């Protein structure tokens, strides 16, 4: 099966003029198009949102529901 490129949707945003100029400079310094630079920034931020399974694991760790491992070698032997 052939891998398809993700669908790109054109949209419009309004940016502060100074901010836009700074972003253009950063994009140019990284040899990226403005579109690509902004897309990379968004993926870095949005891509860090944990999925449901990860959120559940984080909650288990925070509430102490996970098994404590006191001796890794013994724990691995018991697997």
* pLDDT digits 0-9 by tens, 31-59: 999 999 999 999 888 877 888 898 888 88
In the structure, what pLDDT confidence band is assigned to residue 1 with cuts at 50, 70 and 90? low
Which one, of 52, 50, 32, 49, lies nearest residue 40 by Cα? Answer: 32
Share of residues in the chain with pLDDT > 90 (%): 42
Largest CA distance in the chain: 62
Residue 21: pLDDT over 90? yes
Residue 6: pLDDT over 90? no
Residue 22: pLDDT over 80? yes
> Tokens 């836009």 appear where?
20
């Amino acid at each position: 099966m052939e891998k398809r490129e993700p669908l790109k949707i054109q949209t419009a945003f309004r940016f502060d003029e100074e901010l836009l100029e700074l972003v253009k400079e950063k994009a140019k310094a990284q040899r990226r198009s403005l579109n690509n630079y902004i897309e990379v920034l968004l993926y870095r931020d949005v891509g860090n949102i944990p999925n449901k399974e990860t959120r559940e694991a984080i909650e288990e760790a925070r509430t102490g529901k996970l098994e404590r491992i006191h001796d890794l070698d013994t724990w691995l032997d018991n697997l």
